[in-house]
Amino acid sequence: MKALVLRTPAVGPALALLAAVLIFSLTTDTFATADNLSLVVQQSLVIGTLALGQTLVILTSGIDLANAAIAVLGTLLMAQLVLGGTSAPLALLLGILVAIGIAAITGGVVTGISLPPFIVTLGMLTIVTAAARIYAGGQSYPVTDELLTFLGTRQYLFGYVEVTVGMGLALVMYLIAWYALTRTAWGRHVYAVGNDIEAARLSGIKVRRTVLSVYLVAGLVYGIAAWQALGRVPNADPNAFQTGNLDSITAVVLGGTSLFGGRGSVLGTLVGALIVAVLRSGLTQAGIDSLYQDVATGVLVIVAVAVDRFSRGRQA
Amino acid sequence: MAGTACSSQKATDGRGNDDGKIKIGLVTKTDSNPFFVALREAAKAQAGKDGAELIALAGKFDGDNEGQVAALENLVQQGVDTILVTPSNSTGILGAIKKAREKGILVIALDTETNPKDAVDATFATDNLEAGKLQGQYVKAALGDRVPQLLMLDGSPGGTVDEQRHNGFLQGIGLTESDPKVLGKESTNGDQNKAQQAMENLLQRAAAVNAVYTINEPAARGGFAALQAKGLADKVVVGSVDGGCQGVRDVKDGKYALTVMQFPKKMAEDGVKAGVEFTRSGKKPSGFTNTGVTVIADKPVPGIQAKDTAWGLQNCWG
């Protein structure tokens, strides 16, 4: 059992998620209902999507502090362009392209002049947040366009299980990322770069190209996160998701991905994002004050990193 | 709308009476702002008196629409009969409010209106335009013969309350937005640190100031610290809004000329009472209920009714 946990980083988090779901199902009447579980997933969607991009960056032993800010700028672009008469598909595309463009600049600076990702994305966070506020002109913009809010569309399976289009899209994105990381040469290169950049270089991997490609993919993911956000709350607000970058890092860490790079999985991150949402919902329904919920999440983060350290020590 | 009314009737018969307790949810903008703490404590106390259960949730920061939506959803899951909400953004959480109302839950906005206003069943709030106007009128009267030279410490850009107070103040003091007598304005997000920095910067180019508008008392504290550091404290009439106990003490100490007191306790108590009434009899409140404002100042000026700080200290919050 212990060996399985150590070998497959997503197993530990999955067990933790299962335990949390069980505990809340037994201790509250309202947690284990089909529509509440559906809500928990919906509540984790935007952070879960941001965390997917974050995982890719962290696997290369980087970190992205600007991801949520990029998504917020994306929501504003999409909303304002449509309000200004641009067709919705074009606005959506431009919003996503701008997200990719910003990520490309970040990736270019990180790989081109070898600056630490922490510093580059910290700068980007400040720039993009300011750009979003300037562009918004101190306003927030309600969104009524059907395409922009499409990911919030609800369907019922078997008559009572509520799902949204956004859930389906997130699942597909996670599966694609999982496949790319575990079944393709690109995926092996990403892990290799994160594990030991020199060893990767010496074994003939094009390190810069690999890292740059990761930022580009992450940018695409952040653009889609913007779309997810409009499906969830149809309102583009320059003040939204102020803690989204840290929340996404929390999901990655809880999912068992190592902050030192090279180890972890996107499926773990999916579980990590769900753990946060399950805690928030379950503890709320158990009547625990939200500040204590933050304490619980914080403790879990530290435990998760300790487990990572411990398992690394064992492997080395 | 007709469908909502119909389903609400059904809900009052079944919902919330399962365990015999009336459940009321409260969603504030944040957990930490003293104004919302006072509102929450008053709601809890009133719920206790009425034998109701109060579940209090909040966003993480001002503008956390996503967090408020999740809080609303969680309250619906817990089967509350009534939700009291102070919307961070007037439009951001309308979808979640609509879903709650479709389930027959009474939704009342406290402190901040939604846009459109009828997205909620009723609103219990300060008339913020009026609050701003009173602040402006008092400052103008306190200036006497002096021509106003105004600096404005605003709230958050785009905030409904912020705009209403700002516009009200300009009306009250008799200036327009573009008047050259408005020497400068800065956003402070109602934060003391930001307000101090903003005022320090404004004073670099507007030392002739004699009147200051502030969005709330934390902004007033920050602004006053900067004025004091420049030795301008005695020459400038500072006005504020809120009615927190610290703010009233600051007026008593002569730091600002006045503050306009709001009544979060009343908003919360009225909200809880309306929720209890709704569960018991199915009666819904509607429209905008002004919970009132009172000017707190120790120096009377002609034409403005004010209470002194002794009264203020008895009625302040936080």
Please answer yes or no on whether A139 and B157 come within 8 Å at the CB atom: yes
Amino acid at B140: K
Burial class (CB in 10 A: 0-12, 13-18, 19+), B82: buried
Please answer yes or no on whether A43 and B73 come within 8 Å at the CB atom: yes
CA angle (B146 as vertex; B142, B150 as ends), nearest 5? 80
Of A36, A43, A140, the CB nearest to B92: A140
Q: Total domain count for chain A?
A: 1
For testing contact with chain B, the best of A41, A235, A247 (most B CBs within 10 A): A235
> CATH code at A137?
1.10.3470
Please answer yes or no on whether B66 and A281 come within 8 Å at the CB atom: no
Please answer yes or no on whether B77 and A39 come within 8 Å at the CB atom: yes
pLDDT tens digit at each of 318 positions of chain B: 333 333 333 344 444 445 678 999 999 998 878 899 999 999 999 999 999 999 999 998 888 999 999 999 999 999 999 999 999 888 889 999 999 999 999 999 999 999 899 999 999 999 999 999 999 999 999 999 999 999 999 998 777 889 999 999 999 999 999 999 999 999 888 888 889 989 998 998 898 999 999 999 999 999 999 999 999 999 999 999 999 999 999 999 999 999 999 999 999 999 999 999 999 999 999 999 999 999 999 999 999 999 999 999 999 998
**Residue of chain B with shortest Cα separation from A28:** B78
In a domain, A4, yes or no: no
Please answer yes or no on whether B66 and A36 come within 8 Å at the CB atom: no
**CA–CA gap between residue A263 and residue A44 (Å, rounded):** 23
The answer to whether the beta carbons of residues A29 and A39 sit under 8 Å apart is no
Q: What are phi and psi of B152, to 5 degrees?
A: -120, 125
In a domain, A3, yes or no: no
**CA–CA gap between residue A273 and residue B53 (Å, rounded):** 31
- CB atoms closer than 10 angstroms to residue A180: 16
**CA within 13 Å, CB half, B155:** 23
Measured between beta carbons, the chain A residues lying within 8 angstroms of B154 are: none
Range of the domain at A251: 9-310
Of B73, B89, B94, the CB nearest to A237: B89
Say yes or no: ipTM exceeds 0.85: no
Judged against a pLDDT cut of 90, whether residue A198 lies above it is answered with yes
Q: What is the pLDDT of residue A4?
A: 53
In a domain, A137, yes or no: yes
In a domain, A69, yes or no: yes
More confident residue, A254 or A159: A254
What's the gap in Å between the CA of A84 and the closest CA on chain B?
19
DSSP codes, chain A: -HHHHHH-TTHHHHHHHHHHHHHHHHH-SSSSSHHHHHHHHHHTHHHHHHHHHHHHHHHTT---SSHHHHHHHHHHHHHHHHHTT--HHHHHHHHHHHHHHHHHHHHHHHHHS---HHHHHHHHHHHHHHHHHHHHTT--EE---TTTTGGG-EEEETTTEEEEHHHHHHHHHHHHHHHHHHHSHHHHHHHHHHH-HHHHHHTT--HHHHHHHHHHHHHHHHHHHHHHHHHHS-EE-TTTTTTHHHHHHHHHHHTT--TTSS---HHHHHHHHHHHHHHHHHHHHTT--HHHHHHHHHHHHHHHHHHHHHHHHHH-
Q: What are phi and psi of B20, to 5 degrees?
A: 75, 5
In a domain, A2, yes or no: no
In a domain, A1, yes or no: no
In a domain, A315, yes or no: no
Measured between beta carbons, the chain B residues lying within 8 angstroms of A288 are: none
Judged against a pLDDT cut of 60, whether residue A304 lies above it is answered with yes
The answer to whether the beta carbons of residues B252 and B309 sit under 8 Å apart is yes
In a domain, A316, yes or no: no
pTM: 0.83
Please answer yes or no on whether B77 and A285 come within 8 Å at the CB atom: yes
